A and B are shown apart, each in its own frame.
Chain A
Amino acid sequence: MALLEVHNLTKDFDGLRANDDISFTLDQGELVGLIGPNGAGKTTLFNCISGLHPVTSGRIIFDGQEITQLKPYEVARRGLARTFQVYVASGDLTVEENVMVGCFMRTRSRAQAKARAREILTDLRLSDLADYLMSELPVSAQKRVTMATALGSDPKLLLLDEVAAGLNPSEIDEIMTSIKHVHDDLGVTVMLIEHVMELVMKVSHRVVVLDYGKKIAEGEPAKVAKDPLVIKAYLGERYVREHAEELK
């Protein structure tokens, strides 16, 4: 069953077409990658889906209902959560309080929000960090906390924007485990923007590829990686050469 349908989505920023007639669907229970070179329009696509940017044209259907015109908080309340590529931790919320903000979407009770936040933190192996301020954490941990916060709202669909950017290999492993846990065990449908190819190609069932705002390919990771258009746009000949074995 389709959980998210994007139909002919176009987004213009005065003169610049950041998303150009993009269509795709996500099925319930999928884990899909969204890749493309810098400036391809990936974040913009997330911003349009989550209601942060009004779309220029096109329709977005989530869980059987049109959400194209909805405000971000309305979209979120329907069960579509997201993280942000750039997160500035300025405030004085602790990790646990941060996750509680997410949990408060589904309850008024502080006790319930707190209990749920603890559960999620334990689940994502973040409980040791519960009392730290966000600003005291390294970026890698911050990204996992924003994921935990988004999960607090109990979403059906989670959009992750470059949660592995700037992390070292062991941190990437950790976050990959978290993502797989969220998808496999918690049953959340996930779409992730990622530049770290090792991660996205390994975990995704399918990938969607953008270039200059257009969707240029879509399909299984191995197939997409062999697509000449994709290779040219993004991966570079080198990646294909180095991973020749895996791609076969």
Chain B
Amino acid sequence: METLRNTFDFSDFPRIDLMVAGFVAIFLVVFPLVPHSSFAMATMIQFLMFSLYGMGWNTIGGYGGQVDLGKAQYVGIGAYTTAVMLIRWDVPFWFSMPIGVCLAVGWSFIIGYPLFRLTGHYFAIATIATSLVLKDIFEVWDFVGAARGLEISPIKYSPPDFLRLIFKEDIYYYYIILGFFFLGILYVNWFRKSRLGFQLRSIKDNEEVAQSLGINVHWAKIKTYAIATAFVSLVGSFHACYIKNIEPEDTMSLDLSILIALMAMLGGAGSLWGPIIGAGVLIPLKSYLKEWLGAKAGLVGIDLIFYSLIIMVVSAAEPRGIWGIVEKIRRRKQV
């Protein structure tokens, strides 16, 4: 009962936040109904996917302060589970997605147990390493198509196929990921008020103090890492059905891991809205830069340079990102 109330209770936010959030929610719901280009639609779907990646990362990375730069390996596990199961055994998304989540979470426990013996930079570097190892394995593993990856060919199915998530029009994908997006917000809203959420914030503050308050720091981190993993694995499964063409290089790359972390850090790590703001700024920027500069001028990676610049500027101004700046101004006004 209390859990349910906490999930839907946003009353600790100022009214202005809730009004803005309400407008954004309405916009997201009606967006497909207003005239738009297919490019804008694709960008919006990317925005929703990356918001979810960021929300997941935010639990361990934001509230818990554990800079995790290896989330792509779990995107890969989700994507590959769904793709392999669909192609080989015709298992629909709604079955393969939970299985992917279970596999990813299982793997996250195996990885997380030794990983969380490390702290600070060592932890961050180790997360990168584990993710790259898994990617290397997938690149030579024939069962999952090795470096060529896998392709879901839509002609085999008769879209719209709601079980397998095979559609011709992007609007279906849009509403499905939008549903997950709202669920994600509700989940994180519960998480931040839960005992585990408080434990993580205490750990971020000071691990010795956290332990002295009865918190099993190692276990709390592993649990939260699993939660973050479930988020990204789910989106990974969606990614497989949406993109239909997956390979280690795009689902498990270091770029993706870093982008996920940047999303949340830019918007504001450790806040509910942060990852959404981060994705809202970075994803359109990334898409349009790639469209205008990258492809046309053939300057590979110029988008990367551009948004890493933004990150540097923002983190120099306020380490807690855009949302940190908002909060700072608000607190100053209060005093």
> A and B from one assembly?
yes
Interface residues of A (CB under 8 A from B): 50, 52, 71-73, 76-77, 81-82, 84, 87-93, 97-98, 100-102, 104-105, 107-111, 113, 133-134, 146, 149-150, 152-153
Once bound together, how far apart are the Cα atoms of A246 and B219, in whole Å?
Answer: 52
Say which residue of A50, A73, A92, A133 sits within 8 Å of B217 (CB atoms): A73
Confirm or deny: B37 has a beta carbon within 8 angstroms of a beta carbon on chain A: no
Check A73/B205 contact, CB under 8 A, given A110-B6, A111-B2.
Answer: no
Check A88/B213 contact, CB under 8 A, given A100-B198, A110-B2.
Answer: no
**How many interface residues does chain B have, given as a range?**
20 to 34
B206 and A149 contact, CB distance less than 8 A: no
Once bound together, how far apart are the Cα atoms of A82 and B215, in whole Å?
Answer: 13
Confirm or deny: B168 has a beta carbon within 8 angstroms of a beta carbon on chain A: no
CB-defined contacts of B215 to chain A, threshold 8 Å: 73, 101, 105
A149 and B193 contact, CB distance less than 8 A: no
A101 and B204 contact, CB distance less than 8 A: no
A101 and B199 contact, CB distance less than 8 A: yes
Check A73/B206 contact, CB under 8 A, given A101-B198, A104-B195.
Answer: no
Check A90/B193 contact, CB under 8 A, given A73-B217, A110-B6.
Answer: no
CB-defined contacts of B320 to chain A, threshold 8 Å: 92
Identify the closest chain B residue to A159 (Cβ): B212
CB-defined contacts of B304 to chain A, threshold 8 Å: none
Per-position 1/0 for B196-223, Cβ under 8 A of A = 0011011011101111111111000000
Q: How far is the CB of B48 from chain A (nearest CB, A)?
A: 27
CB-defined contacts of A76 to chain B, threshold 8 Å: 211-214
CB-defined contacts of A87 to chain B, threshold 8 Å: 206, 209
Interface residues of B (CB under 8 A from A): 2, 6, 193-195, 198-199, 201-202, 204-206, 208-217, 270, 320, 331
**Shortest beta-carbon contacts, A-B, top 4:** A91-B205, A105-B214, A72-B211, A76-B214
Once bound together, how far apart are the Cα atoms of A198 and B194, in whole Å?
Answer: 43
Once bound together, how far apart are the Cα atoms of A105 and B195, in whole Å?
Answer: 9
For the complex with contacts A73-B212, A92-B270, 12 further pairs of A-B residues with Cβ separation under 8 Å are: A71-B211, A88-B206, A91-B202, A92-B320, A93-B201, A101-B201, A104-B195, A104-B213, A108-B195, A111-B2, A133-B331, A149-B209
| Subset of 21 A-B contacts with CB under 8 Å | A50-B212, A52-B208, A52-B212, A71-B216, A73-B211, A73-B217, A76-B211, A84-B209, A84-B212, A88-B206, A90-B205, A91-B204, A91-B205, A93-B202, A93-B205, A101-B210, A107-B195, A110-B2, A110-B194, A133-B331, A150-B212
CB-defined contacts of A73 to chain B, threshold 8 Å: 211-217
**Most chain A CB within a 10 A radius of its CB, from B194, B205, B213:** B213
CB-defined contacts of B204 to chain A, threshold 8 Å: 91
Check A89/B205 contact, CB under 8 A, given A100-B198, A109-B2.
Answer: yes
A97 and B195 contact, CB distance less than 8 A: no
Q: How far is the CB of B208 from chain A (nearest CB, A)?
A: 7
CB-defined contacts of A152 to chain B, threshold 8 Å: 213
Once bound together, how far apart are the Cα atoms of A188 and B126, in whole Å?
Answer: 44
CB-defined contacts of B202 to chain A, threshold 8 Å: 91, 93, 98, 101
Q: How far is the CB of B278 from chain A (nearest CB, A)?
A: 17
B201 and A91 contact, CB distance less than 8 A: yes
CB-defined contacts of A105 to chain B, threshold 8 Å: 213-215
Once bound together, how far apart are the Cα atoms of A3 and B2, in whole Å?
Answer: 37
**Most chain B CB within a 10 A radius of its CB, from A50, A89, A101, A113:** A101
Once bound together, how far apart are the Cα atoms of A166 and B206, in whole Å?
Answer: 22
CB-defined contacts of B201 to chain A, threshold 8 Å: 91-93, 97, 101
B205 and A81 contact, CB distance less than 8 A: no
CB-defined contacts of A134 to chain B, threshold 8 Å: 205
